[in-house]
């Protein structure tokens, strides 16, 4: 019996897709195939096979050390896998045992920035054929199933701010000096691609066109639904906007986009970082704004759309959103402290939550208000009616970001929560504020009964342990700026 059969993946359709892919690879001259998997931090890991091993990998997968699921953001294992009791805490992880990565033939891409190389997305399975329950993609799949059970589908559009720098010495930089190697190593030395503080100017786009062309061509070659590339306010800061797709596809797109952008730009002498706040004095924080709505799976009708405004004051959510949409909005607000741990998942991201910076500070919503945490866009009868969550950072794990929205939104719907009136002054004093540190956000996640139940105690405990380890190393760091450079700037 093949491992694909043991874990329930085998079907006539998958077998046919695998055979077609093997023939396609044989005919195309592909030499190497990367099997990629998204870890807890949104980083793609995996192994690279020669093309002749593709058929075997599709049928039986490839082994992967299980501790890759247990790494904190410095690549240190946050659990003691060689000590007694680990099997009870984390079944299947004792002794740094192997998991099996199973490729999805439908995820095939030919990588445009390197020669004769293909890429397949994988998910990890236990030796007995069960999917690893702590895998972040599996967490989103379970959340998506909760929607499917109600006949709904989540639709997501992505707005991703990030920074592109020019490497000062691509071949012999400080991060490549063997005398400076460390764990984690030094950050690369860079210069700007545009000087910033001139939002959406064509002149700054022209100065940054070379790296932005690389981003554009890479994204389009991979079939990603790129809409626009824009100059953001900060020095060397840019934004990419993607069209809507279902939540799982959108999350897959985010993983592929970040991974591809960093690699393609690096080969051309540039450094892209998706950390929120690069470690320089004059920067603007980057956010990841997640546009979300629900649709009926059978008809495609937007569940958030209201046919006509409800009776009541202008700041009532039901002036714009359906009753379901208004309760979903209220759920996001009610669980915002817990959501923050999953939407802003690095210690670096918490410096973004400050007043008058077009980033949220308080747990509020507004109608087309970019200072509020949740921005509601649309009108009665508008099929594009949606909620934009401005809480996230671009380094967040997209599967966990989107799963958190589903669980919080559904709790709002099930409890028929009512949103407070819309804010017009999002930075005024008095409103409940977003957690100000990763440790506070993780504590909020652990204390949120509905989120704890929806995501499950094993996952919440696992996630909290790893993120607390990350926060603790920041607290203990002699130089916090150097910590951010090494931990995030060179790695995400």
228-253 mean pLDDT: 98
C-beta atoms surrounding 220 within 10 Å: 12
Helix (H) or strand (E) holding 50: strand 44-50
- Per domain, the residue ranges of the chain are 3-132, 145-489
Interval 400-423 mean pLDDT: 98
Contact between 197 and 235 (Cβ < 8 Å): yes
Residue 130: alpha-carbon gap to chain centroid = 24
pLDDT of residue 169: 94
Say what the pLDDT of residue 282 is: 94
- Give per-residue pLDDT as tens, 261-312: 999 999 999 999 999 999 999 999 999 999 999 999 999 999 999 998 888 7
**pLDDT at 314 > cutoff 90:** no
CATH architecture label of 145-489: 2-Layer Sandwich (3.30)
| Residue for token pair 């596809």 | 249
Q: For residues 463 and 401, is the Cβ–Cβ distance under 8 A?
A: no
Strands 32-38 and 117-125 come out as parallel
- Say if 3-132 and 145-489 have the same CATH topology: no
pTM above 0.85, yes or no: yes
Question: How many Cα atoms occupy the beta-carbon half-sphere of 338 within 13 Å?
Answer: 23
367 has pLDDT over 90: yes
Report whether pLDDT(313) > 90: no
* Percent of all residues in the chain with a pLDDT value above 70, rounded to a whole number: 100
Nearest Cα residue to 438 out of 357, 348, 377: 348
Q: What is the pLDDT of residue 269?
A: 97
What's the chain's average pLDDT?
96
Each residue of 144-182: b (16+ CB within 10 Å) or e? beebeeeebbbbbbbbbbbbbbbbeeeeebebeeeeeee
Of 303, 321, 304, 324, nearest in space to 312 by CA: 321
In tens, the pLDDT along 99-145 reads 999 999 999 999 999 999 999 999 999 999 999 999 999 999 999 99
- Give pLDDT tens digits for 417-471: 999 999 999 999 999 999 999 999 999 999 999 999 999 999 999 999 999 999 9
Is the CB of residue 215 less than 8 Å from the CB of residue 205? no
SS3 152: strand
Mean pLDDT of all residues in 22-41: 98
Fold observed for domain 3-132: Ubiquitin-like (UB roll) (3.10.20)
Unique residue bearing structure tokens 């008095």: 430
Give the Cα-Cα-Cα angle 19, 21, 27 (nearest 5 degrees): 105
Total count of residues recorded for the chain: 492
């Amino acid at each position: 019996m093949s491992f694909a059969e043991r874990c329930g993946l085998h079907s006539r359709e998958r077998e046919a897709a695998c055979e077609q892919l093997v023939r396609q690879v044989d005919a195309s001259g592909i030499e190497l195939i990367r099997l990629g998997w998204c870890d807890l931090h949104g980083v793609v890991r995996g192994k690279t096979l020669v093309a002749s091993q593709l058929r075997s990998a599709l049928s039986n997968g490839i082994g992967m050390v299980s501790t890759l699921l247990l790494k904190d953001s410095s690549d240190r294992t946050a659990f003691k896998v060689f000590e007694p009791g680990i099997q009870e805490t984390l079944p299947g992880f004792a002794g740094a045992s192997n998991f099996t990565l199973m490729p999805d033939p439908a995820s095939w891409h030919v990588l445009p920035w390197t020669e004769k190389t293909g890429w397949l997305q994988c998910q990890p399975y236990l030796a007995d054929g069960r999917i690893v329950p702590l895998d972040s993609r599996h967490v989103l799949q379970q959340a998506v199933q909760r929607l499917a059970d109600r006949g709904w589908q989540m639709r997501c559009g992505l707005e991703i701010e990030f920074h592109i720098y020019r490497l000062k010495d691509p071949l012999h930089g400080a991060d490549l000096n063997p005398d400076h190697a460390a764990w984690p190593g030094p950050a690369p030395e860079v210069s700007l691609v545009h000087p910033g503080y001139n939002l959406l100017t064509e002149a700054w786009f022209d100065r940054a066109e070379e790296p932005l062309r690389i981003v554009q061509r890479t994204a389009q070659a991979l079939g990603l639904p790129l809409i626009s590339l824009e100059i953001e306010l900060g020095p060397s800061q840019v934004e990419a906007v993607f069209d809507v797709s279902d939540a799982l596809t959108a999350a897959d797109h985010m993983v592929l986009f970040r991974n591809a952008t960093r690699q393609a730009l690096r080969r051309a002498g540039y450094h892209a970082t998706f950390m929120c706040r690069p470690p320089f004095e004059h920067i603007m924080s980057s956010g990841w704004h997640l546009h979300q709505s629900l649709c009926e799976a059978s008809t495609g009708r937007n569940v958030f759309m209201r046919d006509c405004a409800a009776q009541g004051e202008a700041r009532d959510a039901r002036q714009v959103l359906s009753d379901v949409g208004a309760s979903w909005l209220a759920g996001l607000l009610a669980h915002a402290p817990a959501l923050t741990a999953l939407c802003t998942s690095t210690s670096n991201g918490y410096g973004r939550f400050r007043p008058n910076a077009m980033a949220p500070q308080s747990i509020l919503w507004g109608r087309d208000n970019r200072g509020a945490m949740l921005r509601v866009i649309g009108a009665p009868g508008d099929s594009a009616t949606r909620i934009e969550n401005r809480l996230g950072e671009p380094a967040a794990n997209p599967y966990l970001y989107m799963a958190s929205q589903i669980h919080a939104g559904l709790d709002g719907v099930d409890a028929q929560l009512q949103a407070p009136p819309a804010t017009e002054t999002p930075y005024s004093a008095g409103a409940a504020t977003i957690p100000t540190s990763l440790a506070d956000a993780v504590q909020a996640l652990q204390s949120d009964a509905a989120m704890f139940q929806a995501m499950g105690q094993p996952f919440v405990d696992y996630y909290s342990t790893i993120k607390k380890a990350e926060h603790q190393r920041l607290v203990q760091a002699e130089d916090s700026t150097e910590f951010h450079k090494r931990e995030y700037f060179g790695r995400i």
